[in-house]
């Protein structure tokens, strides 16, 4: 057991095999970053509109912050949490904590009080870094209100206007850099970052990753995208505090020595402008973000020649959206299937477009091996669908302070049971078919939201589609299809939608019962469509309509 008390549930012999195969660098993320900083100190490490930070400057900032943290009692094994917008500061905190042998626990901006309380308590954070305000909420006041329950929290740091009782982040950056020879030598098998995932639990989960698993697993995934590491420049539309964003510091900067391109928050116009001005080679985003950008006329008017590929993850994406993105962005499309729990599979730049439309690439055991199993846990042959389980160099250590989750999702050999359904086809590609827990059961019929969303998104006037369950007193659950329409497009009636879905092969007993229109689908802090919020909104409307009996909700939700 290491200083943090976190243990590795992947068998030691298996980890040793990955090391002997050369799949792990067996060095800490800070050591690896320092090598790049010494070799290319002037190269841009982090780029954002109006500001760029070189490798040399980022190393200096990380050493200054490490000195400030150490002077205030942060030592190896301590957890440093943070919730700040995307910027060089995120990468600085990651590297400073890693330099001390500490662990970072980033939470994407937008997490509310209940989530923050759960996460801070679960990870026993000793320090937290936040912005003073986000979306009209005083984050400092919220954190202060949690201190009676987050008993380990000792160090409060604010990035922004000063506040009594809080340490100023910029002030800490004035510390003298800690000498490299005074830094500890972390074990590469020790934890360095906790990834947060909401999953299907009532509270968000935290998953512990070691230096080796982040760099040799999640970082190697980036290397597989494109071998020319020096030219790699990734525009992260997703929060760096999300699982998807975890490859920025630990993969782009520490492993391949590329450039991280960030915006403080996702806005369609700003993201499009960043492509022209900051010249990324890859874009990392979730379907809803890419759908919004592809539908914006501004994208057609900018220079997109730097782009090699779009990396889309977070949720299943439909063929129509992929085709629109390829046409709109003028580059390759990389379909990524992954999760914070230690899962990865993705298509490649060289893959045939037809393969990208229908699958998420071939499993790569040097990053993450996948198996398809039946309900008894037996591996199924190619072509048969079952649950996807995963294990590989990127496998995390364990869920943090949640033995019930380890018992539920991990087995004694270190395999993670994803709850996702799919099969391996005759050519070795992984084809997804949905999630066990996202299946809508209406009158005893299993309905896949992904199937409905995929067909609905192929409509030329539909930008985004999300399908959620609505409680039904007779059938158990009903189906509501939530849509964002293209600019100036007329709203489709439920009957028109049903005709469109039926013509394209959807069975009559799977047709949606409701349709609701949004200007933009709500996103979770990680950038995915927030289906919990959609379902909650619809439930409120349904109750109101039934109680009033006057059809007041009909303009928003139709049956």
CATH number at residue 120: 3.40.50.12780
Question: Do 333 and 477 belong to one domain?
Answer: no
The sign of the torsion formed by the CA atoms of 183, 122, 200, 422 equals positive
d(CA 404, CA 175): 42
pLDDT value for 475: 72
Q: Residue 6 — φ and ψ, nearest 5°? A: -80, 135
CA atoms within 13 A on the CB side of 35: 11
pTM: 0.84
pLDDT > 90: percent of the chain? 67
Collapse the DSSP code of 32 into the 3-class scheme (helix H, G, I; strand E, B; otherwise coil) and give the result: helix
Q: Is residue 6 part of a domain?
A: no
Question: Do 84 and 228 belong to one domain?
Answer: yes
Query: Which H helix or E strand runs over 387?
Result: strand 386-391
Q: Is residue 3 part of a domain?
A: no
To the nearest whole number, what is the mean pLDDT of the chain?
A: 89
Q: Is residue 328 part of a domain?
A: yes
Question: Do 75 and 199 belong to one domain?
Answer: yes
- Closest-CA residue to 312 (of 296, 297, 292): 292
pLDDT value for 549: 29
Contact 188, 158 (CB under 8 A): no
Q: Between β-strands 462-472 and 259-262, what pairing exists: parallel, antiparallel or unpaired?
A: unpaired
Q: Is residue 429 part of a domain?
A: no
Single out the residue in 424, 459, 490 at which a domain terminates. 424
Q: What is the pLDDT of residues 200-235, one digit of tens each?
A: 555 788 999 999 999 988 888 888 888 787 799 999
pLDDT value for 436: 57
Question: Do 225 and 351 belong to one domain?
Answer: yes
How many angstroms from the chain centroid is the CA of residue 326?
22
Question: Do 411 and 443 belong to one domain?
Answer: no
pLDDT > 70: percent of the chain? 93
Question: Do 418 and 445 belong to one domain?
Answer: no
Q: Is residue 7 part of a domain?
A: no
Total domains in the chain come to 2
pLDDT value for 531: 85
d(CA 256, CA 214): 12
Question: Do 411 and 454 belong to one domain?
Answer: no
Question: Do 417 and 489 belong to one domain?
Answer: no
Question: Do 257 and 167 belong to one domain?
Answer: yes
Q: Is residue 4 part of a domain?
A: no
Q: Between β-strands 133-134 and 167-168, what pairing exists: parallel, antiparallel or unpaired?
A: unpaired
Range of the domain at 277: 12-424
d(CA 40, CA 35): 9
Single out the residue in 379, 397, 424 at which a domain terminates. 424
The strand pairing partners of 309, in sequence order, are: 282, 332
pLDDT value for 445: 67
Q: What CATH number is given to the structural domain containing 490?
A: 3.30.300.30
Question: Do 158 and 217 belong to one domain?
Answer: yes
Question: Do 446 and 419 belong to one domain?
Answer: no
Q: Is residue 181 part of a domain?
A: yes
Question: Do 472 and 538 belong to one domain?
Answer: yes
- The model's confidence at residue 437, banded by pLDDT at 50, 70 and 90, is low
Q: Is residue 388 part of a domain?
A: yes
Single out the residue in 399, 424, 449 at which a domain terminates. 424
């Amino acid at each position: 057991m290491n200083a943090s008390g976190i243990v590795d549930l992947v068998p030691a012999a298996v980890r040793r095999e990955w090391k002997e195969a050369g799949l792990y660098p067996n060095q800490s993320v800070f050591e690896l970053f320092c090598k790049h900083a010494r070799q290319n100190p002037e190269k841009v490490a982090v780029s954002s509109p109006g500001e760029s930070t070189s490798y040399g400057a980022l190393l200096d900032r990380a050493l200054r912050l490490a000195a400030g943290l150490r002077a205030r009692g942060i030592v190896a094994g301590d957890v440093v949490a943070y919730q700040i917008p995307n910027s060089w500061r995120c990468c600085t905190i990651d590297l400073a904590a890693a330099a001390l042998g500490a662990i970072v626990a980033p939470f994407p901006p937008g997490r509310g009080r209940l989530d923050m309380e759960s996460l801070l308590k679960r990870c026993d954070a000793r320090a937290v870094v936040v912005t003073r305000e986000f979306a009209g909420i005083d984050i400092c006041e919220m954190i202060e209100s949690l201190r009676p329950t987050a008993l380990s929290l000792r160090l409060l740091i604010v990035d922004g206007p000063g506040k009594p009782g809080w340490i100023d982040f910029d002030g800490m950056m004035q510390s003298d850099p800690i000498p490299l020879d005074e830094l500890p030598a972390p074990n590469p098998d020790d934890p360095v970052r906790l990834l947060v995932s909401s999953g299907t639990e009532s509270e968000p989960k935290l998953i512990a990753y070691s230096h080796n698993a982040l760099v040799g697993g999640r970082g190697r995934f980036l290397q597989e995208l494109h071998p020319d590491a020096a030219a790699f420049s990734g525009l992260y539309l997703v929060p760096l505090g999300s699982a998807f964003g975890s490859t920025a510091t630990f993969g782009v900067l520490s492993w391949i020595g590329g450039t991280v391109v960030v915006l403080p928050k996702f806005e369609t116009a700003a993201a499009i402008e960043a492509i022209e001005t900051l010249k990324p080679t890859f874009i990392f985003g979730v379907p809803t973000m890419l759908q919004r950008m592809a539908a914006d006329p501004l994208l057609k008017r900018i220079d997109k020649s730097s782009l090699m590929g779009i990396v889309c993850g977070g949720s299943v994406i439909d063929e129509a959206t992929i085709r629109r993105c390829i046409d709109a962005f003028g580059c390759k499309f990389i379909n990524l299937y992954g999760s914070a729990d230690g899962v990865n599979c993705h298509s490649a730049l060289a893959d045939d477009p037809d393969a990208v439309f229908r699958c998420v690439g071939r499993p790569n055991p040097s990053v993450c091996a996948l198996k398809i199993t039946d309900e008894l846990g037996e591996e199924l042959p190619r072509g048969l669908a079952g649950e996807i389980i995963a294990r590989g160099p990127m496998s995390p250590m364990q869920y943090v302070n949640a033995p019930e989750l380890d018992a539920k999702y991990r087995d004694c050999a270190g395999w993670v049971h994803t709850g996702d359904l799919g099969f391996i086809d005759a050519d070795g590609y992984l084809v997804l078919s949905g999630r066990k827990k996202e299946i809508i059961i209406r009158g005893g019929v299993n309905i896949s939201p992904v199937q409905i969303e995929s067909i609905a998104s192929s409509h030329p006037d539909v930008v985004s589609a999300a399908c959620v369950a609505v409680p039904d007193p007779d059938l158990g659950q009903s189906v509501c299809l939530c849509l964002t329409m293209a600019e100036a497009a007329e709203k489709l009636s439920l009957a028109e939608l049903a005709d469109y879905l039926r013509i394209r092969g959807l069975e009559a007993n799977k047709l949606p019962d409701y349709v609701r229109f949004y200007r933009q689908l709500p996103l979770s802090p990680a950038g995915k469509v927030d289906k919990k919020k959609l379902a909650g909104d619809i439930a409120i409307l349904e109750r109101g309509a039934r109680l009033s009996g006057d059809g007041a909700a009909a303009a928003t939700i139709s049956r």
